[in-house]
Amino acid sequence: MREIHVSDIISSVKKLSIEANYYLGQDVIDRMISLKEKEESETGVEVMNILLKNYELAAKEKMPICQDTGIAVIFVELGQDVHLVGGDFTEAINEGVRQGYKEGYLRKSMVNDPIIERKNTTDNTPAIIYTEIVQGDKIKITIAPKGGGSENMSEVKMMKAADGIEGVMDFVVDRIRRSGGNPCPPIVVGVGLGGNFEQSALLAKKSLLREIGSPNPEPKWDQYEEELLKRINDLGIGPQGLGGRTTALAVHILTKPCHIASMPVAVNVQCHAARHKSIIL
């Protein structure tokens, strides 16, 4: 049994909140550069140049890449041999978010009630926390700040087994077609297949954490990711929806077993500022 004080969780979440919002992953930047070379639209190339300049400036000026610094979505892999001491685990994560969003000059985008009151909680809490118990005596914490514009273009559909892989791909491509310029393309498309209603959505979100350019953990899905990427880029939506060949930077698929009666499909759309940072304690 290894003891970890919750104050370490607070300081880690605080640091991750700030860093994820200032510094974009090199995998996203590299993919943006390589697709820019192939972009046929003059406006598209110009938009991508400005985005690349923006990532550089954000890091240099220590300012958030985007003003929408998102909901703080936190994934925790908690080793079963860890004993947390010194306070409440959930509160520690929220305190880390509170401190990070304040000290990093990040925008507070959470309202207390979805419909009636919609009053800003003023500290970007509560975070959305997913905890998984794993083997070992470490904690891995990942923050994925998620903006509203791209999240709003996401969807879950309960499909039939008879729809097959073609039906799934048609749904994914159509979801992106209907999104147009709204989610800030070039986007990353997270696809969750299987599980049940809510698990498919979580799979889609988790798939966004994979490094761009890395192979699918299940090789049989690589070809479908490539095919979807091609079909999505053939839509012509382009950077910011202004027309062009670069609508998506990548498509990621994550799957789970499902019920004999079901075929849940979830599409989680991620803007080009595909932010996530992890730490292992």
Partner 1 sequence: MAKTVYLKTPIDSKDLTDLQIGDKVFITGTIYTARDAAHKRLVQLLDKGEKLPFDPQGQAIYYVGPAPTPPGKAIGSAGPTTSYRMDPYAPALMDAGIKAMIGKGERSKPVIESMIKNKAVYLAAIGGAAVVIAESIKKSEIIAYEDLGAEAIRKLEVENFPCIVANDINGNDIFVEGVKKYKR
The dihedrals phi and psi of 208, each to the nearest 5 degrees, come to: -70, -15
Instruction: Return the structure tokens found at 124.
Output: 């970007």
- For residue 47, the minimal CB distance to partner 1 (Å) is 6
Query: Within positions 187 to 226, which residues make up the interface with partner 1, using CB under 8 A?
Result: none
Q: Does 175 bind partner 1 (CB under 8 A)?
A: no
Q: Does 278 bind partner 1 (CB under 8 A)?
A: no
- For residue 266, the minimal CB distance to partner 1 (Å) is 21
72 closest CA partner among 59, 54, 57, 90: 90
Among 27, 91, 181, 199, binds partner 1 (CB under 8 A): 181
How many residues would you count in the chain?
A: 281
Among 26, 34, 122, 214, binds partner 1 (CB under 8 A): 122
Q: Which is nearer to partner 1, 126 or 181 (CB)?
A: 181
Q: Does 118 bind partner 1 (CB under 8 A)?
A: yes
Q: Does 41 bind partner 1 (CB under 8 A)?
A: yes
Beta pairing partners, 4: 84
Q: Which is nearer to partner 1, 50 or 165 (CB)?
A: 50
The dihedrals phi and psi of 56, each to the nearest 5 degrees, come to: -65, -45
62 closest CA partner among 21, 30, 97: 21
Q: Does 51 bind partner 1 (CB under 8 A)?
A: yes
Instruction: Return the structure tokens found at 82.
Output: 């860890």
208 closest CA partner among 182, 184, 188: 188
**Contacting range for partner 1; rule: CB under 8 A; set: 70-78, 88-96, 220-228, 271-279:** 271-279
- For residue 121, the minimal CB distance to partner 1 (Å) is 10
Q: Does 155 bind partner 1 (CB under 8 A)?
A: no
User: Tokens 């190339």, residue?
Assistant: 45
Q: Does 269 bind partner 1 (CB under 8 A)?
A: no
Q: Does 126 bind partner 1 (CB under 8 A)?
A: no
Write down the H helix ranges in the chain.
6-22, 26-38, 42-61, 89-103, 148-151, 164-179, 197-207, 222-233
Alpha-carbon distance of 232 to 6, in angstroms, equals: 44
Alpha-carbon distance of 152 to 68, in angstroms, equals: 13
Q: Which is nearer to partner 1, 145 or 192 (CB)?
A: 145
Query: Within positions 58 to 97, which residues make up the interface with partner 1, using CB under 8 A?
Result: 58, 61-69
Q: How would you label 62-82 residue by residue, b for 16+ Cβ within 10 Å and e otherwise?
A: ebbbbebbbbbbbbbbbbeeb
Q: Does 105 bind partner 1 (CB under 8 A)?
A: yes
Task: Give the binding site for partner 1 (CB under 8 A).
Answer: 40-44, 47, 50-51, 53-54, 57-58, 61-69, 105-109, 118, 120, 122, 148-149, 152, 180-182, 184, 234-238, 240-245, 271-273
